[in-house]
Each structure stands twice: as structure tokens, then as C-alpha cells.
Structure 1
Amino acid sequence: MSRDRLLRAGAFLERHLFDPIQPEDIAAASALSLRSLQRYFATAVGESLSGYLRGRRLTHAAQQLVLGHQDILSLALDCQFGSHEAFTRAFSRHFFMSPSAFRQQGCLQHNYYRPSLDLAMLAELAAQHQQPPHITPRAQQPLWGLTQAMQTDELSGAGLGIALSQLNSQLCSLFGPRTPTRVFYFKSQPGQCRDFLLLVATAAGPGMPPQGITALTLPAGYAATFTLHGDESQLPVFMYHCFAQWIFHSGWHFADAPIELQLPDEQHPRFRLTLPVRTTPCPVYRLW
């Protein structure tokens, strides 16, 4: 089936995101039967057409809240929810916090945002579906490192590169220039999604860590490593797949531990992300 029809459906959806459209309207605009569109959409995008439409509307709402939108009821009505209560329930299920809490703690870069449907998005999702993450067992790993507070919006682009360069330089001055380093990030406080700690670490040495060094122990378990196939512009699609698709449909669960970033280098020219995963739901939510 032509991908052009799916792109036509996506374009129609974006033009009428705040109109009272139904899935049948999107199917008609793409010249497909509703059943055919739903089947092809689920295969190519990884979720239902109605779920994606709701997710795009909630993404717009989340972005408006971060920008300071004060009237939650009008935002709910704009996004085609019939009441404040219905909007709050849907928003809380999607972003794991209420709209008012998201306005205080949310960020413009969020793992559960639904990116707009275009050719680059479909290409990245197709690559992710065809090449699932590499899952490996991991022993307990004690680490020493240096941390820097970051906001989620800063965990990509130039700000991330500058912070990593500074931390890596400081770490090498303490432990030697040939020290292999790894990059992690985790929440500075539980229950929020804006403020993180960026950690550049190396294997822990004997005894106590030097003054000013953060000691961190990665728990034993499994790790799922994803590879970004497109360029940096596809990071939102990549995160959407990792957190909003794979982790909910794979049978694995997030293991509540730091997430590892692996930036492109000579050996690995693509961005990689390693999630700690477990076979059962994590019973306790801690710092990470």
C-alpha cells in the first residue's frame, strides 16, 4: 500500500487537529477504507489511529502548558475533550501527571510527545521496528563520576556537547587521559520530568571515591540498547519509540535505574540509548 496515502492522512490530521474530526474523516481524506487505514497505520506507526490523534492533541496541550497557558478548560475544549475532567484523566494517563503539575514541572522535550507524521518519522519507525533493541544481561557495576544538573531540553544539541566535554576533561584530569568514560542521566528528584543529573563516569577504584566524585552503583539486570538510524532531528521520534511504544508493548519493564547515552564516535557513528529493563514491573519508584 502506498505510503503516500498514509502521509496524506497525517497531513489531514494536522490541518484539522482542533476540529471535531473522526477516524472516518481521516480515512476518506486518504482515499482508504477505515479498516485499511487503521491496519496500515498500526503497522507503520505502532499505535492505533485514534490513539495517535489523541496523543497529538495532548502533545499540543502539553506544549501550551509549558509555555504558560493558564486556562485548562479552554485548552481541553480546543483539544476536543468534552470537559475539564475528561481532559485531565486523558492527560494524566498519557504524561503520568496532571495538567497543572505538568505546567509546573514539564518540558518542551518529552519522551511521551507524539511527533507529527511525516516521511522521516515513518523511516525512523520502520528502522526501529525492523531492528529491535539489543538486550544483554548486565552485572552490578560500581562507578565514580562527575555530575551536572541539566534540564531535559538541554539533553540534546550543543548544550549537551559542551557539558560532556567539560565533565570528561575534569574526569580525565583526575583519573588519567586514557580513562574510558560513560555517560548517564537520571532524575534529580522523583515525580518530575524537567530536572536531571548528567553523569560522566568511569569504573570505580578501590576504597572511597575522591572528594567531589559521585559514587554510583548500576544494579545487576538487563539492558536494552537502541540505535538512532536517522540524524539528530529524529531524536523525538526515537524517544517516542523507546519510551512510548517499545517499553509498553515488548513485555519488558523499565528497571528504575540511570539511562545510558552513547554518543557517536569513530567505532559507533550513531547515537545510542541504553535502558535498564526487567521482566517484571518495578515495585518501588526511587531517585532515578
Structure 2
Amino acid sequence: MKQLSPLERAVEYIEAHLNEDIGLGEVSRAAGYSYCHMTRLFSAVMGESVGRYIHRRRLYSAAEKLLHTDRRVLDIALDSGFASPEAFSRAFKAAFGQSPAAYRRAGLDLVTSAKRGLAPGDVEHIANNISHTPELVWQPEIKLAGIRGVTSLSDNRLPALWRQFLGLRAELLGPGSPGPGYGVCETQKTVYTKNGDVAFITLVGSPVKRLDGLPPPLVGKTVSAGKYAVFTHRGTLANLFITYQYIFGTWLPAAGEELDEREDFELYERPVTAFDDPDNEVKIFVPVR
């Protein structure tokens, strides 16, 4: 019997439990991945978050039932996880441009896949600005002092968080503190939102020798030691998502590596002077077993 990949296990679980109250937590557990890893993997390959995929699949399943059965719209709505026909109708119209009743009358199957295609700029970035073969390293434990903030797949708030931290760093950690910056996606603090988006709690900071006695609002964090696959991203930070898309959607399925439960993180060895600076360079550390 073929051994399923984590993504295949996730999709198989979703399809088997499509009409149940499931979300990112249940899907991650079924696939054997953490929230953060599953979100990155799923978004890279499928082009959308787990929550939005579930929502879309429920609507597409409902569309098929509208065309190929004579069941009442009310029953289809309830089976699809909607609390009322009105909520179902609003969501259906947003997805297909017409009400469930009009869709049934038209008799046209508009169900199509929603996987995000690659734009020409994406291809150029993947070809020229990503190290395609990562360096495998053993990274010792790192103590970080920094600040936490929330970002999401739909609303990148990391630039503002970095500006806030860099404004505090010299003042709170001393004039000799400037050095490499780290950004850590905190796996256990990922939040699955009602609209299908995913909000990440992220810590940005710098290495310190001790974590006790940090002046507020700084907080401490220890990044676990272990084996990491290290990729280099170059150019505008707006393309970081494309880099993660390559790592989790292309490299990981082909590499034969297994993700570990430790958190992935970004290392900025050189100061970032502008979000779109073509000379930006970020090292991405992906935990592997």
C-alpha cells in the first residue's frame, strides 16, 4: 500500500470529514504536522489556507448536490456546515456569482479548482533569488530577546513589527546590540480565524546571552537546537511567500526530508534598509529530522 504524504493525509482527512466541524487543528493532527508547518505546506501546494480550502470544498460539494440531486436547498445548506439557508446563500453567491436556486436552474457546473498559478515574476524569483539546494546544518540553541506581534496570510504586518523592534533594540539592549535579526513563527501560537485566514504569532528579535532581567516590552525566547535545512532568499521581502511556496511545495515533497516539530525561523545577517531592496538577503531555517 502506498504511504501517503502529509499533504495527501490532510486532504484525505478533509474529504472524509467535510460535513463535520473540523479546522486546522484537526487536519494538522491527522497529517502529523504542527499548525505552522501544515499551514505553510498547504498554502504552498494548494494556493490557499486549510480553512479556505475546507470552506471552498463544502461549497463545491453543495454545488454538485444542487445539480445532481433534488434535495432541498435547506438540507444541503445544513449538511454543508451552514447555520442557516441565508448564510449558505451569501457564501454560495460570493463563490459562484449567483444564488443556490439560480445555480440549480441554470444547470451549469461551474466547479473549478482554485490552485494559484505561477506568474512570470514568480518564476523569475524562483530561478534567480532562491538557493534551490539547501545547506543542511546543526544549529545550536539560540537565546533571543525581542517583541511579539500578529501577522497573517492575508495581512503581512511584519514590516511594522520590525520597525518597532529596531527602534527599541539599541535603547533597551545597549548601543553595542545591533547584530543579526531573527524572526520566529511560533508554532503553538498559530490561530485559525473564522474567515479561513491564519494568524501567526511571530517573535522578532536579536540574540542575547541571558534571558532573565530583560527590560519590558522585550520578551525572551529560546530557539531549539537541531538539524535545519537552510535556504537563502534574495531581493524584495514581498516575495518571501513565493520562497516558502518553493520550499514547502517543491523542494520538500521531492527531497525525502521529514519536517521536525521545532519552529522554523528567519535570519537577517545584514540590516534591511528597505522592504523592496534588491540586495536583501534572508536565510530561512527549516527544521528537519
2:170 aligns with one of 169, 172, 176: 172
Is 2:103 aligned against 1:139? no
2:186 corresponding residue in structure 1 = 186
Residue 147 of structure 2 aligns to a residue whose secondary structure is: strand
Contact 2:233–2:243 (8 Å) recurs in 1: yes
2:231 aligns with one of 221, 226, 240: 226
Contact 1:186–1:258 (8 Å) recurs in 2: yes
**Could you say which structure has the larger radius of gyration?**
2
How far apart in 2 are the matches of 1:261 and 1:57?
A: 21
> Unaligned 5+ residue runs, structure 1?
1-54, 84-98, 101-112, 280-288
TM-score when normalising by structure 1? 0.51
1:23 corresponding residue in structure 2 = none
How far apart in 1 are the matches of 2:59 and 2:250?
A: 29
CA distance 1:171–1:257, change in 2 (3 Å): farther
1:274 aligns with one of 260, 263, 284: 284
How far apart in 2 are the matches of 1:250 and 1:262?
A: 22
2:203 corresponding residue in structure 1 = 199
Residue 135 of structure 1 aligns to a residue whose secondary structure is: strand
The within-5 A match list for 1:31-42 is none
Q: Which amino acid aligns with 2:260?
A: A
How far apart in 1 are the matches of 2:238 and 2:168?
A: 30
Deviation string for 1:42-84 (max 9, x for gaps)?
xxxxxxxxxxxxx999547x69948xx97754424779xx99x
The within-5 A match list for 1:50-61 is 59=47
Is 2:248 aligned against 1:247? no
Contact 2:138–2:227 (8 Å) recurs in 1: yes
CA distance 1:262–1:152, change in 2 (3 Å): farther
Which has the higher mean CA deviation after the structures are superposed, 199-208 or 167-176? 199-208
How far apart in 2 are the matches of 1:200 and 1:117?
A: 30
1:75 aligns with one of 60, 77, 97: 60
How far apart in 1 are the matches of 2:243 and 2:155?
A: 17
2:266 aligns with one of 256, 261, 264: 261
Q: How many residues align?
A: 190
Q: Which amino acid aligns with 1:244?
A: G
How far apart in 1 are the matches of 2:213 and 2:124?
A: 45
Deviation string for 1:124-150 (max 9, x for gaps)?
334478731222221122222221222
Residue 166 (structure 1) shift: 0.7
Deviation string for 1:199-247 (max 9, x for gaps)?
2222233472325432211111122222335645544432211112222
Residue 170 of structure 2 aligns to a residue whose secondary structure is: helix
How far apart in 1 are the matches of 2:61 and 2:45?
A: 9
Contact 1:187–1:195 (8 Å) recurs in 2: no
How far apart in 1 are the matches of 2:285 and 2:176?
A: 26
Residue 176 (structure 1) shift: 1.4
Q: Which has the higher contact order (CA 8 A, sep 6+)?
A: 2
How far apart in 2 are the matches of 1:246 and 1:56?
A: 11
Deviation string for 1:4-48 (max 9, x for gaps)?
xxxxxxxxxxxxxxxxxxxxxxxxxxxxxxxxxxxxxxxxxxxxx
CA distance 1:138–1:115, change in 2 (3 Å): same
CA distance 1:255–1:57, change in 2 (3 Å): closer
Q: Percent identity?
A: 13
How far apart in 1 are the matches of 2:133 and 2:188?
A: 30
CA distance 1:252–1:194, change in 2 (3 Å): same
Q: Which amino acid aligns with 1:182?
A: Y
How far apart in 2 are the matches of 1:154 and 1:236?
A: 12
1:87 corresponding residue in structure 2 = none
Residue 146 of structure 2 aligns to a residue whose secondary structure is: strand
> Unaligned 5+ residue runs, structure 2?
1-42, 69-79, 82-113
Tell me which stretches of 4 or more aligned residues in structure 1 moved more than 6 Å.
Answer: none
Q: Which amino acid aligns with 1:75?
A: Y
How far apart in 2 are the matches of 1:127 and 1:78?
A: 42
Residue 221 of structure 2 aligns to a residue whose secondary structure is: strand
How far apart in 1 are the matches of 2:142 and 2:228?
A: 12
